[in-house]
Amino acid sequence: MAEPRQSFEERINEIDEASMEYYNRLHSRFLSYKGVKSRLSLRCDSYRAGKKLLAKITIGGNSLKIYLDIDASQEDIAQKKIRFRDMSKASAYKEVPAMIPIKSELCARKVCDIIDIMMAQKGFEKV
């Protein structure tokens, strides 16, 4: 019989210290906007404003991944020179198709900048 799947909370407690720091940075960045709430599920940490899904953070292996509701071809986002992977074919990521693996401090900083751009475009204000 197969082992039961680990929950997101169990996996987040097992990741390395650097990844945990990146996760905390992204988590606090989302919650710094008015009306944004976080919800932990079995597979991910999702961020919503009302019924609108803004992002999901998951852990695959030892890598932190963030899925965002953005168009990666926009000029201000393309200037960040970060690689996106289109996940729109997977039904779980239809609302948040742009996936970015977060493996470094620089990548975490760029993703925080992209979050700020995305939230400004959607009309959210910082708390």
Q: What residues contact 40, with CB distance under 8 A and at least 6 apart?
A: 8, 9
- Could you state, in order of their start, the residue ranges of all structural domains in the chain? 54-122
pLDDT attached to residue 2: 63
Count how many Cα atoms sit within 13 Å of the Cα of residue 10 in the half-sphere of its side chain: 6
CA distance 120 to 64: 24
Per-10-residue mean pLDDT, the chain, length 127 = 78 90 95 94 93 93 88 72 86 91 92 91 87
pLDDT attached to residue 75: 74
